[in-house]
Amino acid sequence: MEKSKKMLAILASPRKDGNVAKMLEIAVEKACETGNFETVNFVNLYEKNITWCKGCMGCKTQCSCVIEDDIKEIERLLKECDLVAIACPTYFANISAPLKNMFDRLVGVVFDDNDSFIPKPKLSKKQKYFILVTCSTPFPFDRIAGQSTGVVRAIREFFHVSGMRKAGAVIFAGTRNKSEIPRKIIGKINSIIEGC
């Protein structure tokens, strides 16, 4: 019997009803609908008490951040999940500050900083992640200017060094004055979830 799978859905946007939040909601609904995931844990980074990384490097020796706050919950959920869905808007061709801080605070959890030039991943290759991005710059200029692709790159790099595999990325470009998620975007999200 296959073990029950767990999904971790992380919202890295201050807009609870914004487009990227709606995209994440679609992913969560599809995960529940398919029955592929017994548990779906939702984390809104803007509602968590996560202090900024202090650069103390304690995480490298402790394999966990030494600061006691809500990052401990995320550490546990990340280690236990089979799929992570990260939803983040584009902020100047990059990820939001709370997401960057979460990545900084999870360094000791996701890879072993050893004496070689290549970090040793600590998470499983059986674990997957997928990326949901919104960008006000219209297609194809969001890609040409490196706006939305900057977000994808930053998230991909974090999970790549962790050892997890990418399940996909969905970019909704040209979001200015739009509040409906296009069918094509919904289809892409559903396809990724079905494949996991």
Residues 151-191: tens digit of each pLDDT: 999 999 999 999 999 999 999 999 999 999 999 999 999 99
Strand partners, 83: 7, 128
**What CATH code is carried by the domain that includes residue 176?**
3.40.50.360
Cα separation, 60 vs 85, whole angstroms: 25
Query: Contact, 189 vs 26, CB < 8 A?
Result: yes
In a domain, 13, yes or no: no
What pLDDT sits at residue 4? 81
Cα separation, 145 vs 117, whole angstroms: 31
Strand partners, 26: none
What pLDDT sits at residue 3? 57
Residue 48, domain extent:
35-184+191-195
In a domain, 109, yes or no: yes
In a domain, 14, yes or no: no
State what percent of residues in the chain have pLDDT above 70.
Answer: 98
The per-residue pLDDT for range 7-46, each reduced to its tens digit, is: 999 999 999 999 999 999 999 999 999 888 999 999 999 9
pLDDT band, residue 69 (cuts 50/70/90):
very high
- Spatial strand order of the sheet with 165-173 comes to 39-44, 6-11, 83-89, 128-135, 165-173
The per-residue pLDDT for range 86-130, each reduced to its tens digit, is: 999 999 999 999 999 999 999 989 988 777 778 889 999 999 999
Cβ-Cβ contacts under 8 Å for 133 (sequence gap 6 or more): 20, 87, 88, 89, 90, 148, 151, 152, 169, 170, 171, 172
In a domain, 6, yes or no: no
pLDDT band, residue 2 (cuts 50/70/90):
low
CA of residue 115 relative to chain centroid, distance:
28
Q: How many domains does the chain have?
A: 1
